[in-house]
């Protein structure tokens, strides 16, 4: 059985790359390939010394994996972020020197801004990307921005995925259809770039018109303590529920028991949680970042709003709260889109085809 080493973050960490690696490692790809993983990313509460040691040891740990496990291919998962790209580029170079097949899959970030920021180092960036045998991106937008670097036969677009059956089976059990309160859920890392403070600013505007509203914050991150303090100082605690980091069944229940999903993000690829919210049948309010507008059409199955505009966010939330028919129609359409375009069974076949193509050619 052919061996594939998947390189990225720790499997127990929060975030899209960790979710993606867990998906690959636990998918039906296991039936056809021997899959293993290597964590090269930072972990929660990592101090400066551990950080430097981790970075220094990446080449040694990778060489050890290559010597012991002897993988035929490396599947590397960076983003267009300085820290992630240059860290993971070491793995690409080592893999190529060892004559391994290489897949680079980009998660998030903005290629144009990344290339401009590192224009003086562009030769190295181009070399790393061109060293791969396949480049996987989440959106057409990113694909267009790197077509001058990556030949068409190497470039593939694959969206993030969701087990739609998991949500369908449990929705009848946990949805509280009799509740008079509307739940607005944000489920992501608590970062400024995810728009968490825009939600906090929008809450007073929303509850002024719709007082029976609860804002659910599910996740964790460096802004959590500050968010809790602000909610207390603004006297918003009765309208806010902090769930903490959720995964598995708890994540499913959190989404299905909600009515509206919000992600007023400043930068994305195509977040896993968006696919999950669609599978849960929720209308979506988000921003035009990465591949989001390829799956969310403004006014059709959700609303696309400008980032850093809590006033617009509040207006769209109020509109959906007051219009149950619109919420229902958008939610049902999102469920259909998730089943038809984002279901795990559809997406895993695309990865299998790529693995087969590269490893048979090898």
Query: Domains of the chain: which residue ranges?
Result: 3-161+343-361, 164-342
Scored b (16 or more CB within 10 A) or e, 140-177 reads ebbbebbeebbeeebbbbbbbbbbbebbbeebeeebee
pLDDT digits (tens), the chain, 362 positions: 899 999 998 888 878 888 999 999 999 999 999 999 999 987 767 778 888 888 899 999 999 999 999 999 999 999 998 889 999 999 999 999 999 999 999 998 889 999 999 999 999 999 999 999 999 999 888 999 999 999 999 999 999 999 998 887 544 444 455 557 899 999 999 999 999 999 999 999 999 999 999 999 999 888 999 999 999 999 999 999 999 999 888 999 999 999 999 999 998 888 999 999 999 999 999 999 988 999 999 999 999 999 999 999 999 999 999 999 999 999 999 999 999 999 999 999 999 999 999 998 55
Which residue stretches of the chain are H helix? 16-26, 48-68, 82-97, 111-117, 122-130, 140-145, 164-174, 196-209, 224-233, 248-256, 272-279, 310-322, 324-337, 344-361
Burial of 353 (0-12, 13-18, 19+ CB in 10 A): exposed
β-pairing verdict for 73-76 and 260-263? unpaired
Asked whether 93 and 131 are in contact (CB, 8 A), the reply is: yes
Q: Which residues contact 7 (CB under 8 A, 6 or more apart)?
A: 37, 38, 40, 62, 74, 75, 76, 77, 88, 91
3-161+343-361 and 164-342 in the same fold = yes
Angle at which helices 196-209 and 224-233 cross, to 10°: 30
Contact 307, 194 (CB under 8 A): no
Report the CATH number of the 164-342 domain.
Answer: 3.40.50.2000
State how far the Cα of 47 lies from the Cα of 51, in Å rounded to an integer.
Answer: 6
> Residue 39 in contact with residue 61, Cβ under 8 Å?
no
CA-based diameter of the chain, in Å? 63
Instruction: Report the C-alpha gap between 116 and 217 in whole angstroms.
Output: 35
**According to the model, what pLDDT value does residue 361 have?**
58
The encoded tokens of residue 177 equal 């259809």
- What pLDDT score does 362 carry? 56
Joined together, the tokens standing for residue 54 give: 């981790």
CATH class of domain segment(s) 3-161+343-361: alpha beta
Q: How many CA atoms lie within 13 A of 202 on its CB side?
A: 26
Output the pLDDT for position 221: 85
Task: Label the pairing between strands 155-157 and 302-305.
Answer: unpaired
């Amino acid at each position: 059985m052919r061996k594939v080493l998947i390189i990225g973050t720790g499997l127990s960490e929060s975030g899209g790359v960790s979710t993606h690696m867990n998906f690959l490692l636990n998918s039906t790809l296991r039936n056809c390939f021997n899959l293993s993983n290597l964590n090269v990313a930072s972990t929660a509460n990592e101090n400066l010394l551990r950080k430097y040691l981790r970075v220094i040891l990446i080449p040694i740990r990778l060489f050890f994996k290559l010597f012991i496990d002897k993988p035929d291919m490396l599947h590397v998962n960076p983003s267009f972020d300085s820290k992630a790209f240059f860290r993971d580029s070491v793995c690409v170079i080592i893999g190529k020197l060892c004559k391994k097949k290489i897949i680079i899959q980009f998660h998030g970030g903005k290629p144009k801004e990344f290339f401009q920021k590192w224009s003086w180092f562009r030769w190295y960036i181009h070399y790393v990307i061109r060293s791969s045998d396949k480049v996987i991106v989440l959106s057409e937008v990113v694909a267009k921005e790197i077509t001058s670097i990556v030949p068409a036969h190497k470039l593939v677009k694959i969206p993030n995925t969701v087990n739609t059956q998991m949500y369908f089976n449990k929705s009848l059990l946990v949805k509280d259809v009799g509740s008079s309160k509307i739940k607005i859920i944000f489920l992501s890392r608590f970062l400024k770039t995810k728009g968490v403070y825009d939600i906090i600013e929008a809450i007073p505007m929303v509850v002024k018109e719709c007082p029976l509203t609860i804002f659910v914050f599910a996740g964790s991150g460096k802004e959590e303590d500050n968010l809790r303090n602000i909610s207390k100082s603004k006297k918003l605690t009765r309208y806010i529920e902090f769930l903490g980091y959720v995964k598995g069944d708890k994540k499913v229940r959190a989404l299905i028991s909600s009515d509206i999903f919000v992600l007023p993000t400043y930068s994305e690829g195509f977040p896993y949680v968006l696919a999950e919210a669609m599978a849960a049948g929720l209308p979506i309010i988000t921003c035009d970042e990465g591949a989001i507008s390829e799956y969310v059409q403004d006014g059709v199955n959700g609303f696309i709003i400008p980032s850093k505009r809590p006033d617009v966010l509040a207006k769209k939330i109020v509109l959906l709260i007051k219009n149950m028919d619109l919420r229902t129609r958008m939610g049902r359409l999102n469920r259909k889109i998730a089943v038809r375009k984002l279901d795990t069974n559809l997406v895993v076949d695309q990865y299998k085809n790529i693995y087969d193509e590269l490893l048979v050619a090898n």
